[in-house]
Amino acid sequence: MTFLELIEQLAKRIGQHQLPVNSTATELRGLIDSSAVHYGLVSQVVIAIYSGNRCRRLTDPVTRDATFKSIEPVRFTVLRSPKTDVDAHDLMEKLCAEVAHIFNTTQPSDPVVRASTAAGGRLYAFRRRLRLS
């Protein structure tokens, strides 16, 4: 799967109002339209995925592990910030869930992510829930 394919699938699943993709873009700059509801957050996630997968072009391949690893710090920042509103929190959760769904359905040859490390599988950080006291 290429970076552009991943972003286009995310836009389809989450909605163009959250992730408005400019299909005529040829580079990262200009790929996401500034009309996104949470433009700053979406831009951070897209840039993190792009750089975390060491992409140089929109058509470079992305991997599941590199993608999860790259969005993890953005997710933790959003979840831990006292300024994060409910909609941004929900969008971040949806982005993470959709990335997991896209990779699980488009790359069946990859090992399945288990629910916990105790069962012998990996627990990606975005799957952990923040506990509020």
The tens digit of pLDDT for each residue in 66-91 reads 999 999 999 999 888 888 888 888 99
pLDDT at position 117 = 42
Task: Report the predicted TM-score, pTM, of the whole model to 2 decimal places.
Answer: 0.73
Per-residue pLDDT of the chain (133 residues; tens, 9 = 90+): 899 999 999 999 998 888 899 888 888 888 888 888 889 999 999 999 999 999 999 999 999 999 999 999 999 998 888 888 888 889 999 998 899 999 884 433 434 444 444 444 554 555 555 555 5
For 7-51, give the DSSP string.
Answer: HHHHHHHH-TTTS-B-TT--SSTTTB-TT-TTHHHHHHHHHHHHH
Percentage of the chain exceeding pLDDT 90: 41
What is the Cα–Cα distance from 19 to 34, expressed in whole angstroms?
9
Residue type, 78: V
Specify which residues 21 forms β-bridges with: 32
If one counts every other C-beta atom within 10 angstroms of the C-beta of residue 60, the result is 13
